[in-house]
Each structure stands twice: as C-alpha cells, then as structure tokens.
Amino acid sequence: MKFLATLLIALSAVITPAKDVFAQNFDHNYSAYDAQLKKHVKWLPDGKQSRVNYKGLAAERAELTKTLDAFIAVTPTQFNAFNKEQQMAFLINAYNAFTIELILTKYPDVKSIKDLGATFSSPWKKSFFKLLGEERNLDWIEHDKLRPTGKNIVNGGYQDPRIHVAIVCASIGCPALPPEAFTATKLDAQLDAGMARFVGDKTRNRFADGKLQVSSIFKWFKDDFEKGYKGFSKVEDVFAKYADVLTNDAAAIAQIRAKTVSISHLDYDWSLNDQGR
C-alpha cells in the first residue's frame, strides 16, 4: 500500500503540472517580436503617433515569419493554460503581427489595408493564418476573442475596452502601434498608457469650437466603453477621465468632466501608417 501511495503521488506530480509547463514553455516576453518592433517602429516627435518601417520588415521577412510561427505553434491547451493577462497579450500581439504580415503580402503596392480586401469581403475577414489550431482572420481575434460582447462573456471575453487602443489596423487613424510587444507583466500599464496617448492625440481626439471632436472608434465601439469597465457607464465617462489630455483650457476641462459637452466624430484616416510616407 505504501508503494502504491508513493507511486500515485509521483504520477500526480508528473500529470498535474502539465498545464503549467505548457504555459511556461512559451516566451511571454516576446523577445524576438519585441526586438523587431523596436527596430522597425518609431514614434513621431509628438510621442502620440508612430510609423512602421514596412520596407525594413519586408527585407527581414524571415524574422517576422519566425515570430508568426511561434504564435501558430501555440495549441488551444497551451493557450488555456495562460492566465488572463497572458492570453490578452498573446491575442493583441498576434493581431498586430499578422496585420503587419497582411500588409507585407502586397507591400509596397498598398496604400491602405482596405486595398487588401476582396469584392465582397473586408481584409479583416480574410482567413490567411492559423491560430489556436484553425484557420483564422483578424476579425476572429478582435470580435470572437478580445471584445467584451455578450457571446464572449460566456466564452471568456476579457471585458476591457482598452484593447481598442492596443490592436492596430495599420492605418493613420488607428491608435499608435508601440515599438514594443505587449506582455502580461506590463499589460495594465501598457493599456493605460495607450489610452492616455490616444485620447491625448489632437489629430484624433480634441476639444475645439466648444465641443469634443473624437475618433470614430468611440462611435463604432461605444457599447464596449459603456459596459461598466472602471466605472464607465457612458462613453462620456472616458473623456471625463482623460479631460486634462484633451485640452489645456481649464474651463473646457471642467465642462468635459461635467459631461455637458456635445460630441462629434472625426473621419477616419485609412492611409497606411508607413514610415516611408
């Protein structure tokens, strides 16, 4: 009996940590991808926008392929072993890396990501990569996995509207792609910084002519910002929180925080966020 008990304990030690071993074997620092971003993504002088050196990435396509292969190699079992922050970082990085890959399939003959769609299908619905064991598209990462929709609450949605300043659609109108990978240990700070940076970018969000002129992201995904995240029940709550980066006018800041300012939405610039522009 003693031998049997010892054997069961030994087997348990081998079997039960398997989930953790899967999680530990993946590079959650995204070292190779991070190095590529640091080399090929640069901030503009305002520190609010960035540009991507697609020409440089195209010349080192093999390195990007290795990064993509690392995402593809992750199995559903491994992904399920990641904690919430690790899963979010994985999905955000995968979205951005595969978006770069999509651009490179036609670069330099592409002026906008919209050029890469088909007659009856957007580029975001184009299944051109594998992830978690199946053919996927960018919409699947965003809408089926990351976004806080009712369906995704059941399936493990993350209930964090800040993902909209983290996933980047390779366009000028998008939030900036940062020159670093998202990581679980820094994720909350990275998402907060992304929100402050995006809302404070006067080309995308500003107080002018007595009203707020904001990115269409806040129209398209308004519901995501009104699901109670950090007390947000209205999209106006977002602007109230970040009032001091929207304007330097003290009276205007008070109005924004009082939520008495009318809101309009700016046209979205779908031009490629190319350093060569």
Residue 4 reports pLDDT greater than 60: no
Sheet holding 263-265, edge to edge: 206-208, 211-214, 263-265
What percent of the chain clears pLDDT 90, i.e. is strictly above it? Answer: 81
Who wins on pLDDT, 114 or 18? 114
Is the pLDDT score of 9 beyond 70?
A: no
Digit-coded pLDDT (tens) for 52-79: 999 999 999 999 999 999 999 999 999 9
Q: Whose structure tokens read 């951005």?
A: 96
DSSP 233: -
pLDDT digits (tens, 9 = 90+) for 146-187: 985 544 443 446 889 999 999 999 999 999 999 999 999 999
pLDDT in tens, 195-229: 999 999 999 999 999 999 999 999 999 999 998 78
User: pLDDT (tens digit, 9 = 90+) per residue, 72-107?
Assistant: 999 999 999 999 999 999 999 999 999 999 999 999
Q: Which residues pair with 171 in a beta bridge?
A: 272
**40 close to 104: Cβ distance less than 8 angstroms:** no
Pick from 194, 186, 86, 92: nearest CA to 142: 92
- Which of 155, 165, 138 minimizes the C-alpha distance to 224? 165
